[in-house]
Structure 1
């Protein structure tokens, strides 16, 4: 039995005034090379007009676009002694998940071919890319203006704009997305009618119109505002944030707390940060009149580093999501994906994100700092608390940040002292100042009478080529990072 969405889709395709660059009708023409060229052309054309899919529909009379049925049977057709679909797959580059389906449409047997829009590069058939212009299917290379326009469309295509769920009723959309959180965090009044709600969600690319009055939820909408990520695809559910706490220094120690995220990032962010804060060890601080307990780690550092892990992860890596681990002496925050900037340059390079829409909306909702200031604030907070310097590092196909519990200068490793010196120099330079022996002593908690210890750290940082003298003609002018 043909599903409701497919019937609604065909209704809308047949209601088009004519064939478009992303829709083509046939009666019985089943030539394999023709189909291969059309898949290439339709896929490339769909991306040009911002469609997620293009379609070929067999069983349609060309003169008046009436459904008359077809004899074409893709499941039984062969080409060069191979099943048609396998043969087409071998001749298309890059591989795309096209799909044939037989449809009983009001008593007529039709065949629908659904072709995904090109994602990363133009789709080629036998090493040649095609495009639709009117009813013609010329080579894309013969139309350089369209080739240029296609590459322009392909460059910003991101995971965020793909679909997490299709053909949902308006009730289903509102039951799966926590739209009240969206309005609260974006500072917009909640509309008093459903049309107003959907207009706002659509404007921020959280949902899209589907066929038959139904709706699609984008990956952006699901990953941020899902009430339960499991209501969407398993791959999306695995992007939930995991939190694990251990009672010792290693992963071999007993797990004391584990929380596997269920909600979207925006919906669950405050709860996650509060959960971490509630489990965080405390230090006793004696003020002028009272004793009080303060968290072991600065709250802004935890908040910003978790937000960065969400924003900068590689969403295309399946089966892995952000991970926060708490040990007795440190917190480690890991996100999947190679860094787009070398870790030692996180502090000064303009931020680059794979997920620009996600990052922009999270900043708009004030779930993280303004663009380019987050890591600065982490280092500032760490220095104010005189913690060991955070360690930003690449591990396999992931980025890991380690935030350490308080430790005296005497207990820091030589590598940590040098890293603290470099980060301090970078922070000073970005604020228009320079690192000196005095500022480094204050940063590391070194007493004035032990200035030689700070001098030793500076010398080691220079030898590691992480800092340099600001003005070689004036050795007492202070120090700047190597990239300054």
Structure 2
């Protein structure tokens, strides 16, 4: 049999698997037994067992002897095998739920032919073959439902699994890792000196789960490491490359207008964050503000609001949605920040609900690096800054499978729509509540820039917001004591 040179990583992987003292629940060695139904059950069992064992992958290797792991070779050629007149891999894929990206790898190994089946660990639910989930116990492959202790343990492992711990690239040398990641920025953000030795740098990156040990003394780059610190996201896998932040500026109020500026951010979120913020701030027009003594120029949008909304889009996006990343669009009258994924909290409760994130590791690390506010305070600061600048209220909305936040340019109260006035009243009441205060006619007038002699206008907005059910009197027997949001 003529064999082409094998992937060096696959050869190193087989070396590492052979060093195991015995087969484990996530590794199986076979000679020439390649019954299709048996393989299907093994895929289910090993995928589930790998997650239980804390492994990213499980393996079946044909051509290794069970007892001493000697490489004896196999006649198995999966590309030529058929089951019910279908290619074996297709037949298997159709019977596995959820979908499992299995991969048969022919390997030329020390003069013999091996086949390695790499099986991703279960991610969202137990993997089933023909509607039955299996598990490995020793060398047996029983039904998972017959072993309730393992089923409970598996669900416990599946629930905290996150995209961040997935693998973006594998079998990388020390030099590859250091060339791919902007590790200098990590130490700068942490306020720590750059270690003098390469091993100390790699140790710190590994301790932050930015990289993981791979086979053959090499490294794997995690999704978290890539999306935060990649020097060039385009050099990563397509699923990572498409997570780069896109910025588009238009010369008018809609997307049919001329595009005046475009930027497809290629740096990771952490190492590229400040540059992106500076770029956007540099494009924003300035408004003249007259203070008590001096005139000063202020950016069109408060810096803290811009920073927090972009950081939130990065942190709270659904990373499992392929082909989509955060999008920032600048129009002449507003800015829109969009991130893929349904919200875990309803938009009208962003301010008060306990913070939840799909990407806890990413969020925690960005906060430790002081790239965004402490957990649960970001939206407070956005609304407080908007009120200080007397801007129209931001609009938090769900559009399809995405969350969009619209930040509006300055506009007088007289030019606001009824919907905007009601939203401003509700947000003001909510902001007052989380600050330990109550909204009154006076505080709402200050928020909306209404003159004292026009207090009736604020009363009208309060009445309309009451009718919409978004606020209620703090004390029904004393309506003028103030108002609170409906959920208070």
Into which bin does the TM-score normalised by the smaller protein fall?
Answer: over 0.9
Matches within 5 A, 1:112-191: 112-191=116-195
What is the rounded CA distance, in whole Å, between the counterparts of 1:418 and 1:140 in structure 2?
54
What is the rounded CA distance, in whole Å, between the counterparts of 1:36 and 1:20 in structure 2?
18
CA, structure 1 residues 290+443, in 2 after alignment: closer, same or farther (shift >3 Å)? closer
- Select 1:482's aligned residue among 470, 479, 486: 486
Name whichever of 122-131 and 302-311 sits farther off.
Answer: 122-131
Deviation, 1:263, is 0.3
Deviation, 1:251, is 1.4
- Select 1:84's aligned residue among 84, 88, 99: 88
Aligned to 1:307: 311
Aligned to 1:362: 366
Q: Does 1:334 find its partner at 2:374?
A: no
Give secondary structure in 2 for the equivalent of 1:191. Answer: coil
What's the CA shift string for 1:227-269, capped at 9, x where partnerless? 0001101221111111111222111112111111110000100
Give secondary structure in 2 for the equivalent of 1:192. Answer: coil
Deviation, 1:321, is 1.0
Deviation, 1:293, is 1.4
Q: How many aligned positions are there?
A: 484
Deviation, 1:290, is 4.2
What is the rounded CA distance, in whole Å, between the counterparts of 1:136 and 1:319 in structure 2?
40
What's the CA shift string for 1:140-163, capped at 9, x where partnerless? 112111111111111111111111
- Select 2:197's aligned residue among 190, 193, 200: 193
Name whichever of 68-77 and 356-365 sits farther off.
Answer: 68-77
- Select 1:343's aligned residue among 347, 350, 360: 347
Deviation, 1:189, is 2.7
Gap runs ≥5 in structure 1: none
TM-score by length of 1: 0.98
Deviation, 1:30, is 1.5
What is the rounded CA distance, in whole Å, between the counterparts of 1:337 and 1:312 in structure 2?
8
What's the CA shift string for 1:142-187, capped at 9, x where partnerless? 2111111111111111111111111111111111100010111122
What is the rounded CA distance, in whole Å, between the counterparts of 1:317 and 1:202 in structure 2?
26
Give secondary structure in 1 for the equivalent of 2:171. Answer: strand
Aligned-pair Cα RMSD in Å:
1.2
Deviation, 1:190, is 1.8
Deviation, 1:306, is 0.4
Deviation, 1:291, is 3.1
Q: Does 1:28 find its partner at 2:38?
A: no
Matches within 5 A, 1:260-339: 260-287=264-291, 290-339=294-343
Give secondary structure in 2 for the equivalent of 1:212. Answer: helix
Aligned to 1:53: 57
Deviation, 1:219, is 0.7
Aligned to 1:220: 224
CA, structure 1 residues 429+63, in 2 after alignment: closer, same or farther (shift >3 Å)? closer
What's the CA shift string for 1:290-318, capped at 9, x where partnerless? 43211111100000000001111111112
Give secondary structure in 1 for the equivalent of 2:126. Answer: coil
What is the rounded CA distance, in whole Å, between the counterparts of 2:239 and 2:410 in structure 1?
38
What is the rounded CA distance, in whole Å, between the counterparts of 1:406 and 1:315 in structure 2?
33
What is the rounded CA distance, in whole Å, between the counterparts of 2:196 and 2:323 in structure 1?
39
Give secondary structure in 2 for the equivalent of 1:75. Answer: helix
Deviation, 1:289, is 5.2
- Select 1:404's aligned residue among 405, 408, 415: 408
Deviation, 1:82, is 2.7
What is the rounded CA distance, in whole Å, between the counterparts of 1:61 and 1:407 in structure 2?
76
What is the rounded CA distance, in whole Å, between the counterparts of 1:292 and 1:63 in structure 2?
80
What is the rounded CA distance, in whole Å, between the counterparts of 1:399 and 1:82 in structure 2?
42
* 8 Å CA contact 2:305, 2:386 repeated in 1: yes
TM-score by length of 2: 0.97
Q: Does 1:387 find its partner at 2:376?
A: no
What is the rounded CA distance, in whole Å, between the counterparts of 1:343 and 1:247 in structure 2?
29
